[in-house]
With several copies, the nearest count.
Chain A
Amino acid sequence: MPDRLKDYLAAFDDIPGTRVYTTERARQGYWLNQFCMSLMKPENRERWRADERRYLEDWQLTDAQKEALLARDYNRLLDLGGNIYYLAKVFSTDGLSFVQAVSTMTGMSVEEYQKMMLAGGRSPDGQRSVKEGR
């Protein structure tokens, strides 16, 4: 019993190329994700579009989070506690679809990524466990 939660969480770190949105990430990314939520209001989207840097000043973000937002570096944003459904408010505001935004995290071009999806998607083989290499 004492280690159940620890074991539960530890297994998440064994998945290749994946950040599971644990409460630890939720704490780290609290303001980042709350910033993203603000873009659900049209008036905030306007302000954000007009001057991104200035809009960011209103939020208690780390410099790293601010830079990653301005650079639309979604992998980095995930590392800094962002959650994809929150970050979606940023790329939706940019007019990007989920496929377009998601592809930027894979090191593939949008076209390559779309081709992979049309061919049946990424195979799970070798992508299940770092430790077990399966």
Chain B
Amino acid sequence: MARITAGLATSHIPLIGVAIDQNRGEEDYFKPILAAYDWTRRWIIQPENKPDVVILIYNDHASAFDMNFIPTFAIGCADSFEPADEGWGRRPVPTVKNHAELAWHIAQSLILDDFDMTIINKMDVDHGLTVPLSAVFGQPKEWPVKVIPLAVNVVTYPVPSGNRCWLLGEAIARAVASFPENLNVQIWGTGGMSHQLQGARAGLINKEWDQRFLDDMTRDPQRLRAIPHIEYLRETGSEGIEMVMWLIMRGALSTQARELHRAYHVPASNTALGHLVLENVE
């Protein structure tokens, strides 16, 4: 039986990719950024922790999808996905290999559970998906895990509610639990934390709000699922809304999930870098 053993949350700031791709990790600016992942890098390669598959919740930043086609929840079921060209060439990272069998299984289960999924069989994946992989796995020749991309619209409003995201996470957990193959599965929620990339208010960082969100991922997750969009927008900047994707991850874990690791650092580019690793205590 496949089991979700852990949840991971992380910002997916493009600059982290730049630091890694250009081997600039030793620069003063980048040191604390990459240090946020030191614990996780060591932890995840332990045989008892290493996932076979990561269900990677992210958003497309106008790369695979344009204004002609805006799916609320899209699940990638192709065998593999290439890194997108976001305007400066493709990131020099490996092709992302899917566990297509599990991806299709999850897609089917979610639709039977009344989630109105869009199934995608061809797309490129952008920094939202590849930066978290780089932060955790560095620069391998091949990604050491299979990755199921699950893209959420957090760009065009209305985006899905935090509660809908949480419920999707619960349904993903049911889907994984019903997959017969023995697999260690992790679910990653990416994006956030505080950031605003536009207008006169750009650069907003709300450390206090972010910290409470990190706390409540284990202390009071039920509070988080009820946060309305307007609160993310007011408190964490217009792009802080990405944190609803963390709730998909959190909804897929048990009530008693336990914090194994936490990091928080300002700034990484325009953003507050937040990172959490949660053990799925069953």
Contact = CB atoms under 8 A, between A and B. Distances in A.
Interface of A: 1-6, 8-9, 11-12, 15-24, 26-27, 29-30, 33-34, 36-37, 39-42, 45, 74-75, 78, 83-86, 88-90, 92-93, 95, 97-99, 102-103, 105-107, 113, 116-118, 120-124, 127-129
A45 to B, nearest CB: 7
Given A22-B157, A90-B87, A102-B203, 10 more contacts: A11-B230, A17-B199, A23-B119, A30-B121, A45-B87, A84-B198, A98-B269, A106-B203, A117-B270, A129-B234
B85 A121 contact: no
A74 B194 CA distance: 21
Interface in B196-228: 196-207, 209
24 contacts: A8-B112, A15-B234, A18-B198, A18-B201, A19-B199, A21-B155, A75-B200, A83-B155, A84-B198, A92-B88, A97-B18, A98-B15, A99-B269, A102-B197, A113-B202, A118-B267, A120-B205, A121-B203, A121-B207, A121-B272, A122-B204, A124-B204, A124-B236, A129-B234
B182 interface: no
Nearest to B85: A40
A85 B61 contact: yes
A23 B204 contact: no
A88 B108 contact: no
Interface of B: 14-15, 18, 61-63, 66-68, 77, 84-89, 100, 104-105, 107-109, 112, 119, 121, 155-158, 174, 177-178, 194, 196-207, 209, 229-230, 233-236, 238-239, 266-267, 269-270, 272
B80 to A, nearest CB: 13
Contacts of B63: 40
Nearest to A37: B66
A98 B266 contact: no
Contact of B233 (A15, A27, A118): A15
Contacts of A42: 85, 89
Contacts of A128: 234-235
B206 A124 contact: yes
A12 B198 contact: no
Q: Is the interface of B mostly helix, strand, loop or mixed?
A: loop
Contacts of A8: 112, 158, 229-230
Given A124-B235, A129-B234, A17 B205 contact: no
B267 A19 contact: no
Contacts of A12: 157, 230, 233
Contacts of A113: 202-203
A20 B66 contact: no
By CB atoms of chain A within 10 A, which of B14, B85, B202, B205 has the most? Answer: B202
B158 A98 contact: no
B177 A2 contact: yes
A18 B156 contact: no
Pairs of residues from A and B, 8 with the lowest C-beta to C-beta distance, nearest first: A121-B205, A92-B87, A17-B200, A17-B201, A117-B267, A85-B61, A85-B62, A2-B178
B189 to A, nearest CB: 19
Contact of B203 (A4, A24, A36, A116): A116
Contacts of A2: 177-178
A105 B230 contact: no
Contacts of B157: 9, 12, 20-23
A85 B270 CA distance: 14
By CB atoms of chain A within 10 A, which of B84, B174, B201, B239 has the most? Answer: B201
Given A21-B155, A122-B204, A105 B62 contact: no
Contacts of B196: 18, 122
B117 to A, nearest CB: 11
A23 B111 CA distance: 12
A88 B156 CA distance: 16
Given A12-B233, A42-B85, A124-B209, A88 B200 contact: no
